[in-house]
């Protein structure tokens, strides 16, 4: 049940706020009234909700205790909150998923296959098995014998909706070590909204950096959705400070090759991101020369909307040793529906309307659904002496995608090693009838969540 943008925005906002209220140690009378109001918007007020119901956006999951009292035969006004705080019950609200048409899934896979990244970072991922099915089914080699990305990993993060970050890697890059950061910060006030996992690899034999370690940090910082108030700004800065701290710890340990990538939900000159962008020696791939923004007619460096410069909120940051090897970078837009009529920039012939795009570049209308996954692809050439340019998918830019991402970035490395990177909006997959079926939140808005 895909919804117009104003309805979708209200639902996503209600979902985020009610789950935040649930975490309050004590529920004030104002908290209780607000919980009831938000549950009415979402649907599970008179009952816990039915995922198959067409008039409901969410379900209430109660694991222990009681949140509500619903008098038999009473209406909405009779429902009361009986829990006095977080300690009285355990539970949350889940948004209901809608199916995404198969063409969008296929085009997402097409972008990944065409760019041929060795390592892929994904934002807003669901569970590992869903991601594994997508990879095993749609991302296969030319002989259809083996998956292109046999290494798939998702670590459950702090988001109660299960919106996490993940990594995909090809056969040359088996994951060596994983370190989660979900527990950074005090209990009840964790730093990361999701996680900032460290994925460690080693360059394969035959590459110029053979045997050397490389650490990739995948991020999805606090969003502005629901209002960019001071609390949101402070948390995003706190997260950026922690990512910078983690990066410096890795570098001080003698590791030269580090990538920090993800949806940072803020612009390059914003105050919250300065601890990461200004106070470290990391450099974004958008600074690589030459840089092709993927649009032959316009200057588009942004990573969502229609890709304007002011809409850059996604990044691929490289440590000095990696940035020094960059020979080119850019944005790949062929999986994106550009503008309202799809004519803003060239796209695949398999993208015939906005709902078939691998990533949305304008806010969806009532005819589009909206659960998106952000994907960042990063390629490292394993063959010394090669310098191959690869591109990243448009839909987010340097490439990432957001709410209407439009770009992807790619970076290629010269002789010592080629490292093209790109980011794109991907989607989760699950289906009963088809080998892989994609889902999107019923709210119908392609936006990041707080």
pLDDT at 205: 93
Q: Which of 324, 338, 327 is nearest to 408 (CA)?
A: 338
pLDDT at 244: 98
pLDDT digits (tens, 9 = 90+) for 398-441: 222 222 222 223 322 222 222 233 223 333 333 332 322 222 33
Average pLDDT over residues 125-143: 83
Q: Which residue has the higher pLDDT, 281 or 157?
A: 281
Q: Could you tell me which residues come within 8 angstroms of residue 24 by beta carbon, excluding any fewer than 6 positions away?
A: 31, 85, 86
Cβ(68)–Cβ(81) below 8 Å: yes
Mean pLDDT across the chain, nearest whole number? 76
Give the whole-angstrom CA distance, residue 286 versus residue 301: 8
pLDDT digits (tens, 9 = 90+) for 147-195: 999 999 988 888 876 778 889 999 999 999 999 999 999 998 999 989 9
Architecture of domain 99-441: 4-Layer Sandwich (3.60)
* Range in 138-147, 310-319, 378-387 with the lowest mean pLDDT: 378-387
pLDDT at 309: 81
Q: Could you tell me which residues come within 8 angstroms of residue 330 by beta carbon, excluding any fewer than 6 positions away?
A: 290, 291, 292, 293, 294, 389, 391, 392, 409, 410
Cβ(264)–Cβ(314) below 8 Å: yes
Most confident of 97-111, 258-272, 349-363: 258-272
Percent of the chain with pLDDT over 70: 75
Q: Which residue has the higher pLDDT, 373 or 16?
A: 16
Average pLDDT over residues 3-20: 76
* Range in 8-12, 178-182, 317-321 with the lowest mean pLDDT: 8-12
pLDDT at 341: 86
Residue 398: both structure tokens together: 């340097």
Give the whole-angstrom CA distance, residue 310 versus residue 113: 29
**Does 132 have pLDDT greater than 90?**
no
pLDDT digits (tens, 9 = 90+) for 323-371: 998 888 877 778 888 888 888 878 889 988 888 888 533 222 222 222 2
In the chain, domain spans: 5-95, 99-441
Site of tokens 């990244």: 117
Average pLDDT over residues 281-299: 85
């Amino acid at each position: 049940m895909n919804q117009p943008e104003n309805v979708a925005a209200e639902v996503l906002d209600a979902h985020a706020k009610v789950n935040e209220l649930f975490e309050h140690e004590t529920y004030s009378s104002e908290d209780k009234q607000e919980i009831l109001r938000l549950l009415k918007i979402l649907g599970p007020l008179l009952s816990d909700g039915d995922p198959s119901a067409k008039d409901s956006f969410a379900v209430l999951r109660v694991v222990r205790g009681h949140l509500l009292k619903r008098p038999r035969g009473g209406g909405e006004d009779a429902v009361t909150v009986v829990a006095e705080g977080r300690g009285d019950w355990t539970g949350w609200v889940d948004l209901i998923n809608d199916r995404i048409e198969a063409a969008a899934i296929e085009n997402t896979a097409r972008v990944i296959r065409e760019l041929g990244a060795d390592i892929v970072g994904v934002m807003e991922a669901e569970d590992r098995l869903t991601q594994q099915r997508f990879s095993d089914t749609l991302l296969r080699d030319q002989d259809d014998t083996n998956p292109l990305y046999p290494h798939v990993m998702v670590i459950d993060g702090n988001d109660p909706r299960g919106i996490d970050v993940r990594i995909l890697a090809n056969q040359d890059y088996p994951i060596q070590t994983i370190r989660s950061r979900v527990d950074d910060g005090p209990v009840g006030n964790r730093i990361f909204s999701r996680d900032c996992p460290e994925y460690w690899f080693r360059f394969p034999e035959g590459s110029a950096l053979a045997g050397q370690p490389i650490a990739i940090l995948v991020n999805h910082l606090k969003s502005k959705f629901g209002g960019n108030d001071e609390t949101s700004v402070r948390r995003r800065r706190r997260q950026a400070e922690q990512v910078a701290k983690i990066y410096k710890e890795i570098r001080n340990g003698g590791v030269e090759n580090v990538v920090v990538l993800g949806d940072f939900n803020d612009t390059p000159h914003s105050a919250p991101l300065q601890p990461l962008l200004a106070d470290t020696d990391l450099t974004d791939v958008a600074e690589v020369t030459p840089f092709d923004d993927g649009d032959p007619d316009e200057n588009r460096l942004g990573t969502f909307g229609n890709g304007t410069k002011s809409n850059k909120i996604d990044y691929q940051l490289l440590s000095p040793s990696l940035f020094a090897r960059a020979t080119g970078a850019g944005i790949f837009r062929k999986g994106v529906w550009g503008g309202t009529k799809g004519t803003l920039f060239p796209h695949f012939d398999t993208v015939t309307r906005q709902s078939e795009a691998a990533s949305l570049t304008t806010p969806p209308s009532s005819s589009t659904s909206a659960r998106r996954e952000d994907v960042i692809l990063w390629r490292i050439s394993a063959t010394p002496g090669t310098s191959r340019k690869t591109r990243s998918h448009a839909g987010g830019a340097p490439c990432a995608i957001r709410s209407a991402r439009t770009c992807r970035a790619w970076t290629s490395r010269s002789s010592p090693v080629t490292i093209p990177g790109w980011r794109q909006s991907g989607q989760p997959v699950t289906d009963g009838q088809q080998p892989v079926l994609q889902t999107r939140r019923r709210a119908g808005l392609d936006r990041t969540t707080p």
